[in-house]
Amino acid sequence: MEVVIGSAAQVARWAADAVEALLRARPDAVLGLATGSSPLALYDELARRHAEAGLSFARARAFLLDEYVGLSPEHPERYRAVIERELASRVDFAEGAVHAPDGGAADIAAACAAYEAAIREAGGVDLQILGIGTDGHLAFNEPGSSLASRTRIKTLTEQTRQDNARFFDGDADAVPRHVLTQGLGTIMEARHLVLLATGRAKAEAVHRMVEGGVSAMWPASVLQLHPHVTVLLDDAAASRLQLADHFRQTWAHKPAWQGL
Ligand SMILES: N[C@@H]1[C@@H](O)[C@H](O)[C@@H](COP(=O)(O)O)O[C@@H]1O
C-alpha cells in the first residue's frame, strides 16, 4: 500500500495523473468510478484535461461501485445520475459505456449476478477510484461485510445515512435504507486501486485502513491484502497516521520513473 500525503488539490491531481497515464497507454481501459464528495475534484480535473489537453474516454468503459435501491429513475441522487452529471456528461464516453448496478431491478439477485458478469466480460477493472466512509466502508460495504463478498444488496448503517443526508436536503430518513454494492471481493479484483480521502472526518477510518488489523469491522482494511493500492490523502485525513512522516519521506525520495 502506497500512502501519499499532500494538499486536497494535489490529491485530485495525482489521481487524475493515474487515470490519464492509464488512458494514454490503454485507451480502451476499464475504469471503476466512485460517487460521494471525495472524487469530485478529480472529476473536475479529468473534465478539464478532456477539454484542454485532449484526454479521451471514447474507447474506455466504466463501472460504478454501488447504487441506491428504490430511488425513482428521475431522482437526481441515483448514483447513475450523479456520475452522469459529475463526469460522464463532461467527457466523451461512448453511449452505453458507463455501467451501474440496477437499483430498480425487480429481481435484485439476478441484477447483482448480471453486474458481476458484465465486469468479468469487460476484462475486469484496470483502475478503481475509491473513497472511504467515516466508518471505514468501501463502496457500500458497511462494517461486518464479508471480506470476500460479491455484488449484493446491503442495508446502510444509521451513520452512513446521516453522512449522506446532505445529498437529500439534510433528511437522513430520505436516504434509502438499501443499496446494491460491489463486494469487497469484487473490488479486490481490480488491478489498481486508488483511494482518495480528505478532511479530518476520515482520519480515524484512514488510520484503521492503513495501520489497523485486517477486519470486517473496518472494511477498507482489506486493501492491505491488495498488491497495488495508492492511498491519496490530505494532511487532515492523514492526521492520525503513526507512519505519516515515513510516508512523506518515502514520497519525497521516490524515483521519478516509478510513477504511482
Ligand atoms: N457509497 C459511497 C462511497 O463510495 C463513498 O466512498 C463514501 C464516502 O463518501 P464521501 O466521499 O462523500 O465522504 O460513502 C458513500 O456513501
Q: How far is the CA of 130 from the centre of ligand 1 (A)?
A: 8
Q: How far is the CA of 90 from the centre of ligand 1 (A)?
A: 21
Ligand 1 atom at shortest distance from the alpha carbon of 79: 1
**CA–CA distance, 154 with 93 (Å, rounded to integer):** 29
On whether the pTM is more than 0.95, the answer is yes
Ligand 1 atom at shortest distance from the alpha carbon of 140: 1
Instruction: Point out which residues pair with 195 in neighbouring strands.
Output: 130, 231
Percentage with pLDDT > 90 across the chain: 98
Strand order in the sheet with 178-181: 66-68, 178-181, 152-155
What mean pLDDT do residues 50-65 have? 98
Residue nearest to atom 15 of ligand 1 (CA): 36
Q: How far is the CA of 256 from the centre of ligand 1 (A)?
A: 31
What mean pLDDT do residues 125-130 have? 98
Residue nearest to atom 3 of ligand 1 (CA): 139
The whole-number pLDDT of residue 16 equals 98
What CA–CA distances, in Å, run from 93 to 28, 86, 213?
11, 13, 39
What mean pLDDT do residues 121-139 have? 97
For 2-255, CATH number? 3.40.50.1360
Complex prediction ipTM: 0.95
What CA–CA distances, in Å, run from 242 to 94, 96, 110, 206, 239?
44, 44, 44, 11, 8
Q: How far is the CA of 253 from the centre of ligand 1 (A)?
A: 31
What mean pLDDT do residues 158-182 have? 96
The DSSP string of the chain is: -EEEEE-HHHHHHHHHHHHHHHHHH-TT-EEEE--SSTTHHHHHHHHHHHHHH----TT-EEEESEEESS--TT-TTSHHHHHHHHTGGGS-PPTT-EE---TT-SSHHHHHHHHHHHHHHTT--SEEEE---TT--BTTB-TT--TT--SEEEE--HHHHHHHGGGGTT-GGGS-SEEEE--HHHHTTSSEEEEEE-SGGGHHHHHHHHHS--BTTBGGGGGGG-S-EEEEEETTTTTT-TTHHHHHHHHHT--GGG--
Residue nearest to atom 7 of ligand 1 (CA): 133
Q: How far is the CA of 39 from the centre of ligand 1 (A)?
A: 9
Cβ of 57 closer than 6 Å to ligand 1, yes or no, is no
Cβ of 32 closer than 6 Å to ligand 1, yes or no, is no
The whole-number pLDDT of residue 1 equals 96
Question: Which of 11, 33, 37, 38 has most ligand 1 atoms within 8 Å of CB, for mutation?
Answer: 38
Domain edges within the chain? 2-255
Mean of pLDDT over the chain: 97
Cβ of 36 closer than 6 Å to ligand 1, yes or no, is yes
Cβ of 93 closer than 6 Å to ligand 1, yes or no, is no
What mean pLDDT do residues 189-210 have? 98
Task: Examine the pLDDT at 258 and tell me if it is beyond 90.
Answer: no
Percentage with pLDDT > 70 across the chain: 100
Tell me the catalytic residues.
66, 135, 137, 142
Ligand 1 atom at shortest distance from the alpha carbon of 201: 13
Task: Examine the pLDDT at 53 and tell me if it is beyond 90.
Answer: yes
What mean pLDDT do residues 5-18 have? 98
Q: How far is the CA of 13 from the centre of ligand 1 (A)?
A: 19
Task: Examine the pLDDT at 183 and tell me if it is beyond 90.
Answer: yes
What mean pLDDT do residues 117-146 have? 97
The whole-number pLDDT of residue 21 equals 97
